[in-house]
Copies of this chain bind each other. A is one copy, B any other.
């Protein structure tokens, strides 16, 4: 959960016997190394590092960029938000390829990824170094592609899940509920499958294992944790979100992601202005989002959360993790 997860959160989960996950998608090689080292300093247990494996466009569509900046500039003015126009050459996008050397040098044991599949060369390099590779699928076809590419474990990300969809196939965005996705993915691949979306307590963990999962992935529950970077308003929005309060949107980042509906989301979506692709839109909204986070205005923040967000509670990450697995007899699953 980039922008929410801290080294402290990932380490706390690993120290509590889970597998903490450190998101470094789109970060510079330097920041990537720094965060990994910081996490290593907080736990001796293994943790995963999560990459964004997306295509960075060769060129930015100048017309689309200026149109969105026109809109955002006016919007920011009206709402008294900061906004600085930039020209195409002023944007810097880091790629996962630039992070590979760091992962190898830092001897990261587990790398998970989303938004695509690393190149065959990189998959091979990481695997040869003994790194366990975890891919993210939102459809059976994506799961099969990940297995064929050498993923050792696949996360089946249900429609319920908060944050960005891991989707990378062609055509319409897969929107398959976990109850349909998980057993069909389990039947289609031989590697272990982790369930993501709606995992909030012992019964949901047991149900996921019944559907064939070998493990679960949990995000939203940790947003209100003490170790989280989420602002108090973001934490409140998650805890107070009813089952129907989240939706998929491209407004904040240019990629489909699930979050609590808010003012910025509906403004962008009803504006009629075409939303540039990820990661350009993400860069364009960064200042507004940061302002919202800092000044306690959740209406300008991407309030990523899943459809079971209402089950989240404040507390430290270790306690949230313990509460999550309370009553689960993993040996019996």
Q: How far is the CB of A220 from chain B (nearest CB, A)?
A: 10
- Which of A208, A306, A308 counts the most B-chain CB atoms under 10 A from its CB? A308
Q: Are A178 and B181 in contact (CB under 8 A)?
A: no
In the complex, A215 Cα to B310 Cα: how many Å?
A: 24
Q: Are B176 and A178 in contact (CB under 8 A)?
A: no
- Across the interface, A204 reaches (CB within 8 A) one of B179, B201, B206, B306, namely B179
Tally A residues with Cβ within 8 Å of B: 38
Binds B, one of A55-63, A73-81, A240-248, A278-286: A240-248
- Across the interface, A176 reaches (CB within 8 A) one of B140, B174, B243, namely B243
In the complex, A78 Cα to B242 Cα: how many Å?
A: 46
A212, CB-defined interface residue at 8 Å: yes
Q: Are B184 and A308 in contact (CB under 8 A)?
A: yes
Q: Which residues of B contact A247 (CB under 8 A)?
A: 172, 175
Q: Are B160 and A177 in contact (CB under 8 A)?
A: yes
A183-212 contact mask (Cβ, 8 Å, vs B): 1 or 0:
110000000000001101101101110111
Q: How many copies of this chain does the complex contain?
A: 2
Q: Are B203 and A307 in contact (CB under 8 A)?
A: no
A158, CB-defined interface residue at 8 Å: yes
Q: Which residues of B contact A244 (CB under 8 A)?
A: 139-141, 172, 174-176
A121-148 contact mask (Cβ, 8 Å, vs B): 1 or 0:
0000000000000000001110000000
Interface hits, A215-268 → B, CB 8 Å: 242-244, 247
In the complex, A15 Cα to B75 Cα: how many Å?
A: 63
Q: Are B140 and A160 in contact (CB under 8 A)?
A: no
Q: Which residues of B contact A180 (CB under 8 A)?
A: 160, 197-198, 243, 306-308
Q: SS class of chain A's interface: helix, strand, loop or mixed?
A: loop
* A172-B247, A206-B210 given; A160·B139 CB < 8 A: no
A159, CB-defined interface residue at 8 Å: yes
User: Which single residue of chain B is at the shortest CB-CB distance from A167?
Assistant: B244
Q: Are A307 and B211 in contact (CB under 8 A)?
A: no
In the complex, A90 Cα to B291 Cα: how many Å?
A: 59
Q: Are A160 and B183 in contact (CB under 8 A)?
A: no
Q: Are B158 and A177 in contact (CB under 8 A)?
A: yes
In the complex, A306 Cα to B181 Cα: how many Å?
A: 11
Q: Which residues of B contact A211 (CB under 8 A)?
A: 203-204, 207
5 interchain residue pairs of minimum CB distance = A177-B177, A180-B307, A179-B198, A160-B177, A207-B210
A contacts, CB < 8 Å to B: 139-141, 158-160, 172, 174-181, 183-184, 197-198, 200-201, 203-204, 206-208, 210-212, 242-244, 247, 306-308, 310-311
A-B contacts, 13 of them at CB < 8 A, read A140-B244, A158-B179, A159-B175, A174-B243, A175-B244, A177-B177, A177-B178, A179-B308, A180-B197, A183-B203, A183-B308, A184-B311, A203-B210
